Amino acid sequence: MHFDTIIKNGTVVTASDTFQSDVGIRDGKITALAASLDGAEEIIDAAGLYVMPGGIDSHVHLAQPSGDGIVMADDFASGTLSAAFGGNTTVLTFCMQEKGTTLRQSLTDYHAKAEGECYIDVSFHLVVTDPTSYVLGQELPALVEDGYTSLKVFMTYDNLRLRDDQILETLDSARSSGALVMVHCENEDAIRYLIGKHEQSGDVAPKFHALSRPAAAEREATHRALSLAEIVDTSIVIVHVSNRQAMEEIERARKRGGKVAGETCPQYLLLTADDLDAAELEGAKFVCSPPPRDKESQIACWEGLQTGVFELFSSDHCPFRYDDASGKLNEKGKRSFRWIPNGIPGVETRLPILFSEGVSKGRIDINRFVALSSTNHAKQYGLYPQKGTIAIGADADIALWDPRKEMTITNDILHHGADYTPYEGLEVVGWPVRVLLRGRTIVDGASMTGTRGQGAYLPRKRSSRTRL
Ligand code: DUC
Ligand code: ZN
Ligand code: ZN
């Protein structure tokens, strides 16, 4: 036998091409692409299906310590299970530096949480919250060599944010070592001021979360992050962009020669601030940061996906249970939006939403779908061409999509640990019906055919944008 598995009769889709081809797989790798292949233990008939690279979601929060009795709804097992059913084969999650400790210590703890738990492959971004000279001068360069080639910094949240001088120092260290820096852009001082004002007026319902974090606070911080990156000539990613004003900052920076990539997420295409104004405390289900904006912002984000302002479409899966004292409706959260944990689930619905609202509705073509959902993530974060494409030598991480399958998204068909989905009742056209991880079928229809622990940890090369 030449192959372990042949996928026959399907339409192969990459970020650049669409063609009829069989796909031969051996030892977990794609080893042949040809009009007709024979000689395998297993034949998968993909007639009528798209054969696409498995999704790579480069913005996922799992098992993240959240403090104050708040517990994230997904650990590595449930989060990666949910991701697999959503057509993904790799997720990049965040390893948060505990203030006062080293990055290595946080990584030791985080690896222990993932070890033996994952259904798909995982890799970690670092989150730098305490950029001491040891962390930036010694640890970070060594960690980049060890395959931790990206990091995130926050401009908001009192306990996470870095000052501008700390951001500059972190960017400078990242440039020297070739790490790619993701930036959460919101102006903390403005937000804290607005939260205080709303609370003083007794305006404590979930909808005031959105009013406390206006587009101007995101735009200003985006401009500042881009300026700081320009000053030290460092490549950055502006993550979870929600509106046109922030997009314009990215475009302006690019015109000046800035090295910037943009990311947006499903919530900015489908939700608005009005969702936070639901009856009772239901609006808490939609509390995330930056918050969803308005219809015009949704249009802007679609334009950004079409025109290339955004290279990345990620879920920002950051799940908390709703009806739970350790989630959205914790005792303090019921009293003020300030204490509602920020984040919503979405790792399983990201790709069906982009396929249905994007490809099926004619907003983007199928190749752009692959670029936005897989290939660009692999390129940005140093996994290409092992991941993110259908090519000889690549890992056989493949999602078979039925472009005609109609589904209604409800929480009971999903596999995450949250007790709700923000997209309850959304009808979609197009669904991943089979997923292969390194050649092995792990999702077949509604069944998990793989095993917990089959997912590997992936050390990464430097980003294609930061290679020295
Ligand atoms: N930033 C994220 O990236 N995810 C959830 C919450 C946040 O502020
Ligand atoms: Zn963020
Ligand atoms: Zn996030």
From residue 140, alpha-carbon distances to 102, 146, 267, 379 in Å are: 10, 10, 32, 21
pLDDT confidence of residue 324: 98
My answer on whether 423 and 319 are in the same domain is: no
User: Residue 457 CB: number of other CB atoms within 10 A?
Assistant: 13
* 391-408 tens-digit pLDDT: 999 999 999 999 999 999
Cα(382)–Cα(462) distance, integer angstroms:
5
pLDDT confidence of residue 68: 86
pLDDT confidence of residue 344: 98
Closest atom of ligand 1 to CA, residue 343 = 5
State whether the beta carbon of 289 lies less than 6 angstroms from ligand 1. Answer: yes
For 275-289, what is the mean pLDDT? 97
- The Å distance, Cα 288 to ligand 1 centre, comes to 7
Residue with CA closest to ligand 1 atom 1: 289
Cα(307)–Cα(368) distance, integer angstroms:
10
CB 382 within 8 A of CB 461: yes
Amino acid type, 104: R
My answer on whether 224 and 305 are in the same domain is: yes
Q: Is residue 102 a part of any domain in this protein? A: yes
Does residue 274 have a pLDDT over 80?
yes
For 200-208, what is the mean pLDDT? 98
Q: Please give the angle made by the CA atoms of 341, 59 and 137, to the nearest 5 degrees.
A: 95
My answer on whether 74 and 25 are in the same domain is: no
State whether the beta carbon of 318 lies less than 6 angstroms from ligand 1. Answer: yes
pLDDT confidence of residue 334: 97
Q: Is residue 462 a part of any domain in this protein? A: no
Sign of CA dihedral 78, 84, 87, 93: positive
State whether the beta carbon of 244 lies less than 6 angstroms from ligand 1. Answer: no
Instruction: Collapse the DSSP code of 396 into the 3-class scheme (helix H, G, I; strand E, B; otherwise coil) and give the result.
Output: coil
Q: Which of 342, 360, 378 is the last residue of a domain?
A: 360
State whether the beta carbon of 10 lies less than 6 angstroms from ligand 1. Answer: no
Tokens found for residue 98 = 């505990």
Q: Pick from 465, 442, 443, 463: which is nearest to 454 by CA?
A: 442
- The Å distance, Cα 272 to ligand 3 centre, comes to 18
Give the ligand with the smallest distance to the CA of 221: 2
Does residue 467 have a pLDDT over 80?
no
My answer on whether 319 and 394 are in the same domain is: no
* 304-331 tens-digit pLDDT: 999 999 999 999 999 999 999 999 999 9
Give the ligand with the smallest distance to the CA of 340: 1
How does 415-448 read in b/e, with b if 16+ C-beta sit within 10 Å?
Answer: bbbbbbbbbeebebbbbbbbbbbbbbbbbeeeee
Q: How many CA atoms lie within 13 A of 23 on its CB side?
A: 36
Cα(230)–Cα(379) distance, integer angstroms:
22
Q: Specify the CATH number for the domain of residue 288.
A: 3.20.20.140
Q: Is residue 365 a part of any domain in this protein? A: no
Q: Specify the CATH number for the domain of residue 428.
A: 2.30.40.10
From residue 231, alpha-carbon distances to 125, 145, 226, 259, 322 in Å are: 24, 25, 9, 12, 42
User: Residue 32 CB: number of other CB atoms within 10 A?
Assistant: 15
Q: Is residue 460 a part of any domain in this protein? A: no
Q: Under 8 Å CB-to-CB from 209, ≥6 apart: which residues? A: 276, 287, 289, 291, 337, 340, 342
* Average pLDDT score over the chain: 98
Closest atom of ligand 1 to CA, residue 157 = 8
Q: Is residue 113 a part of any domain in this protein? A: yes
Q: Is residue 369 a part of any domain in this protein? A: no
Give, as one character, the DSSP assignment of residue 292.
P
* C-alpha dihedral (220, 225, 226, 227), degrees to nearest 10: 90
Does residue 188 have a pLDDT over 80?
yes
* 6-60 tens-digit pLDDT: 999 999 999 999 999 999 999 999 999 999 999 999 999 999 999 999 999 999 9
Does residue 103 have a pLDDT over 90?
yes
Q: Is residue 382 a part of any domain in this protein? A: no
Cα(15)–Cα(17) distance, integer angstroms:
6
Return the bridge partners of 7, or none.
Answer: 23, 44
Residues of the domain holding 431:
3-52+387-448
My answer on whether 244 and 120 are in the same domain is: yes
My answer on whether 342 and 438 are in the same domain is: no
Q: Residue 468: which pLDDT band, with cuts at 50, 70 and 90? A: low
My answer on whether 208 and 129 are in the same domain is: yes
My answer on whether 428 and 440 are in the same domain is: yes
CB 405 within 8 A of CB 370: no
My answer on whether 356 and 407 are in the same domain is: no
- The Å distance, Cα 136 to ligand 1 centre, comes to 23
For 412-434, what is the mean pLDDT? 98
My answer on whether 37 and 60 are in the same domain is: no
pLDDT confidence of residue 1: 73
My answer on whether 414 and 307 are in the same domain is: no
- The Å distance, Cα 392 to ligand 1 centre, comes to 36
State which of 96, 157, 342 you would mutate to test the pocket of ligand 1, scoring each by most atoms of that ligand within 8 A of its C-beta: 342
Residue with CA closest to ligand 1 atom 7: 289
For 228-245, what is the mean pLDDT? 98
- The Å distance, Cα 268 to ligand 1 centre, comes to 13
Q: Pick from 22, 84, 83: which is nearest to 449 by CA?
A: 84
State which of 58, 61, 70 you would mutate to test the pocket of ligand 1, scoring each by most atoms of that ligand within 8 A of its C-beta: 61
Size (the chain), residues:
468
Q: Is residue 380 a part of any domain in this protein? A: no
Cα(128)–Cα(334) distance, integer angstroms:
31
Does residue 424 have a pLDDT over 70?
yes
Number of domains in the chain: 2
State which of 318, 328, 340, 350 you would mutate to test the pocket of ligand 1, scoring each by most atoms of that ligand within 8 A of its C-beta: 318
My answer on whether 37 and 170 are in the same domain is: no
Q: Residue 67: which pLDDT band, with cuts at 50, 70 and 90? A: confident
